[in-house]
Amino acid sequence: MSVQHDDSIPTREKVLVIGAGPAGLAAAAALRAVGLPFDLVDGAEHVGGVWSGASGKTNEVVW
């Protein structure tokens, strides 16, 4: 996937990505690729979301 930074987008503000699961991590990677500043936060103490296997919702590690 190719992402290009539109220079008409103001970049004084930071993007806030909520959730460090696969979707949030992919969003963060795309933002970094185009040089847009962001913070990535998660309510859990680990990144990876469900894929971390540490959600407490399942004893099975995904993948």
Closer residue to ligand FAD (CB): 22 or 38: 22
State how far the Cα of 29 lies from the Cα of 23, in Å rounded to an integer: 10
Q: If you ran DSSP here, which 8-state letter would residue 7 be given?
A: T
Size of the site for ligand FAD (CB under 6 A): 17
Q: Does 31 bind ligand FAD (CB under 6 A)?
A: no
Q: Which window, 2-10, 12-20, 29-37, contacts ligand FAD (CB under 6 A)?
A: 12-20
Q: Positive or negative CA dihedral for 27, 29, 35, 39?
A: positive
Provide the 3-class DSSP secondary structure of residue 3.
Answer: coil
Q: Does 53 bind ligand FAD (CB under 6 A)?
A: no
Sites of contact with ligand FAD (CB under 6 A): 18-24, 41-44, 49-51, 58, 62-63
